[in-house]
A = this chain, B = another copy of it.
Amino acid sequence: MSVSLAVVGATGAVGRIVLQLLAERRFPHSKLKLLASRRSAGQQIQFNGSPVTVEELTPDAFQGVDLVIASTPDEVAAEFVPWAVERGAVVIDESGFWRMHPDVPLVVPEVNPEAIDGHHGIIASPNCSTTQMVVALAPLHRAARVRRVIVSTYQATSGTGLVGLDELKLATTAALQQQSHPPSAFAHPIAFNLIPQIGSPKYEGYTSEEMKMVLETRKIMGDDQIQVCPTCVRVPVEIGHSESIVVETERPLAVEQARELFQAAPGITLLDDLAAKQYPMPRSCAGSDDVFIGRIRKDLSHPNGLAFWCVSDNLRKGAATNAVQIAEWIVEHRKP
């Protein structure tokens, strides 16, 4: 089975990795179209050693396209996704715009691949912080039912795209020379600092990013009873989101049991040996497609509690990898 594929947002931080993954994983496609805003149209991007010219994102660009992998801001996705669907394409959208729409499956292939089947032309890929968390929670939920999650994030600057990465470098260089660099990608200086706000104020003192972790988790895991209390924080790291997670389950889970569940779960790599100073860290996990878990221990404050530390490349599993996995699933399960 080979498809005519379009990558939307091909020049962005995630789009570039989508292209890398398609090449690395030899994604079966008969045609590849790269689409981006008018500003980026005309650029040449290397794919598998050959240059491909970026075309402008217009309604007619989707003529003859079977499958779309898109990574754009919400407002762009709101506009272009219907263009593609009306022309018969299936869109895998990484923006936040369509995720909570009742007709749109929100999918992490390790957790709810079966949801893909119910699509009506759009399949959404979750927020990066949510994706790695649900990959970690899924095996625990299946074994012991997750009731409550308290999560504090340590999110990399690449979460806001290439501008975030650039600002971290420029601001840090300036700070080392005792100079200031006016923030623009972030609301506050990011060099040697933490910003405890990601997204805009949304609900009862929580930000939009935090509410994504509450609502998307329930939708992906198919359980509206899961309670989540998130705190999302931007940290001066380039790539790799980290999460300190404390989970309460209906039935207690021993640490050894949890370790076995993680070990057997798809998409998870255990790095858990405190005595040997082994645990996931953003710099060592960046560039990998897996979700890395370590520091697994009993929650000292609750009989059914478990604490752990979870790191994943926010541009890969948090975005590009998850979308490409969904695309692979669609191609494999395509009716002839």
Contacts and interface: CB of A to CB of B under 8 A. Distances in A.
B206 A281 contact: no
Interface in A219-254: 227-229, 231, 233, 235-238, 242, 244, 246
Contacts of A298: 204-205
Given A205-B255, A300-B206, A168 B148 contact: no
A188 B274 contact: no
Most buried by B among A150, A235, A297, A307: A150
A120 interface: no
B152 A305 contact: no
A1 interface: no
Interface stretch (A58-66, A68-76, A193-201): A193-201
A31 to B, nearest CB: 37
Nearest to A239: B192
Interface of A: 148-150, 152, 154, 168-169, 172-173, 176, 187-189, 192-197, 201, 204-207, 214, 227-229, 231, 233, 235-238, 242, 244, 246, 255, 274-275, 277, 279-284, 294-302, 305, 307, 309
A312 B201 CA distance: 24
Given A172-B176, A204-B300, A275-B201, A305 B229 contact: yes
Contacts of A255: 205
Contact of A244 (B149, B227, B231, B282): B231
Nearest to A193: B283
A297 B206 contact: yes
A119 to B, nearest CB: 29
A277 B274 CA distance: 37
B196 A301 contact: no
Contacts of A280: 196
Given A205-B296, A242-B196, A228 B301 contact: yes
